[in-house]
Amino acid sequence: MTQDALFLLAAAVVAGYMARLALKLAPATSEFPLKTLVASLLSAIVAFAGVFPYDVGESLRQVTLVVGPLYAFGPLVAIALARLRMYRLARLLVSLLYWTAEGREAPNRLLAQVALQRGDVDRALELIPGEDTLMVAQALSLREEWESLASLSVPLEGDNAYLAEAARIEALLKLDRLEEAESAAERMRSSWEAGAQGPIGYRSLRLSEARIAAERGDLSTVKELLGQSLPGVPAHQLLAVFAHGAYRSGRIEDAGKLYSQAYAVAPEALRDRYARRLRDLGMEAPVAVTNRQTPYVTFALGAVLALAYLGQLWLDANINPIVPTFRAFDASTLAAAFLLGLPGLPAEDAWWRYLSYMFVHGNLIHIGFNVWVLLDIGRVYELRRGWENLLSSFVVGGAMGALITTIAHDGSPLVLVGASGGVLGVAGALLADTLTSRTVADRALSGSLLRWMALIVVLSVAIPNVSLWGHVGGVVGGMLWGFMRQGLPGARAIDSLAAATGLALLLVALYQAILLAGRLA
């Protein structure tokens, strides 16, 4: 497949996922699911044109290269903007993509859901389209308007409706109407068991039953119900249920610790409720890890990788492939890739190739995936440990990816490119952090990271020309850095020194690669 075909295949898969989500939010003939389905089908048809014996024509290919990615990735970009609290830009993007009021309702509902998860109730109410019982119930819960929420009529039709009923059960418990809450939970279970048994209904049911058990002070039942992670349920909610169960069972000190953890990980808009719980217990709220800061270095590093890829395209377009031995090499590969078992190439064993290879990528899919994962995981780690540790783990992961590859291949010819080692170094450092933590949120995050890394290993084995050992080495390097940093004193000076060293090495490696590229020109 060509690079364009691979890009459209990725767009087809993403658009297919978005279409599945869109069909849950809007009728199939409405604008949001219809455009997403068309984007998915067009992208798939054009992507496979080079594999199967049919021709789509250049005009259709060019149109699909625009329309397919636009409606595949556009909604994801809008959601990402909402997560950054850039709601106006998110709404503007939705308005540009979907031109009817009905077409905008479903994507705006997604943005409203993001706002609710962040505790931005006023923003959510601006985005909630029409009479949406589910969204209204969640907003009332965040505002703690328990009387209004308890009187809300919630028909259990569709998997999403269970979220609203779970919020109503919470309201009944807050109003000391335990028997009504138990009856509502029994109706919820009967309806779920008799219906399609979707995942949202499942986690809503378990959360509601855990809240009832907590109200009774039955901590063993709470642990049984919430012992396994419930994807989609915020960590602060799970902690609050455990905390209330501890309080009702007379374990006041444990309740305080759990409420403190909930306060620390909750969105800023929701921390006041946990601060009140702590004051009721005669305790002070801890200093929270603020999320108001922006992970600038994560964004900057992603931008540098993207700019380096543009530089790579320019270099390869202006310098013809070079044939120093038995095969042709692009100029960018000769200048910066990690080379193994290929004697006779210029500076093939240079130390700086252990780092410079991260700034060269195989194609648009390769760079796009690495930047996407870096922005997703890097911002979490930077907000948690600071930009210095983010940069250090990226450098150590990248170097270790090349080193483990060298050991595993034992001199076999290899050309290694891509920032996967550095990105997985950040993921490995984050995993080292969460594995040593005892919070419910970090245990859930550890499980997600481990499952994701297992998938990366499977894909590395299944897909040709993907470096398994580069990925494994990145994770190993990141975890080594993460554990080592935990064992050192917590002084900021250590982080700064490590980051300065890593940055200096990266700059020298890039400088050496650019010098070599100049000589090749």
133 versus 69: which is more confidently predicted?
A: 69
66 versus 342: which is more confidently predicted?
A: 66
DSSP string, 154-205: ----STTHHHHHHHHHHHHHHTT-HHHHHHHHHHHHHHHHHTT--HHHHHHH
500 versus 21: which is more confidently predicted?
A: 500
CA–CA separation, 483 and 175 (whole Å): 46
pLDDT of residue 240: 93
Q: What are the pLDDT digits (tens) for 52-94?
A: 878 888 899 899 989 998 999 899 889 888 887 889 999 999 9
Nearest-5° Cα angle at 231, 113 to 68: 60
Q: What are the pLDDT digits (tens) for 380-420?
A: 899 888 899 999 999 999 999 999 999 988 777 888 999 99
CA–CA separation, 392 and 148 (whole Å): 51
Cβ pair 428, 477 in contact under 8 A:
yes
Q: What are the pLDDT digits (tens) for 222-247?
A: 999 887 667 778 888 899 999 999 99
- Enter the DSSP assignment of 350: -
pLDDT of residue 131: 67
- Enter the DSSP assignment of 269: G
pLDDT of residue 293: 62
365 versus 211: which is more confidently predicted?
A: 211
Q: What are the pLDDT digits (tens) for 475-492?
A: 999 999 999 988 887 778
Phi then psi dihedrals of residue 106, to 5 deg: -65, -50
CA–CA separation, 273 and 65 (whole Å): 48
pLDDT of residue 422: 94
pLDDT above 70 as % of the chain: 94
Q: What are the pLDDT digits (tens) for 438-474?
A: 766 677 788 888 888 888 888 777 666 788 889 999 9
Interval 144-149 mean pLDDT: 90
Residue 108, both tokens: 């705006």
Q: What are the pLDDT digits (tens) for 107-122?
A: 998 898 888 877 788 8
pLDDT of residue 439: 67
Burial 186-199 (b: 16+ CB within 10 A, else e): eebeebbeeeeeee
CA–CA separation, 120 and 139 (whole Å): 9
Look at the alpha carbons of 324, 330, 334, 337 in this order and tell me if their dihedral is positive or negative: negative
pLDDT of residue 307: 94
213 versus 52: which is more confidently predicted?
A: 213
CA–CA separation, 179 and 341 (whole Å): 73
Interval 36-46 mean pLDDT: 93
Cβ pair 471, 401 in contact under 8 A:
yes
pLDDT of residue 441: 67
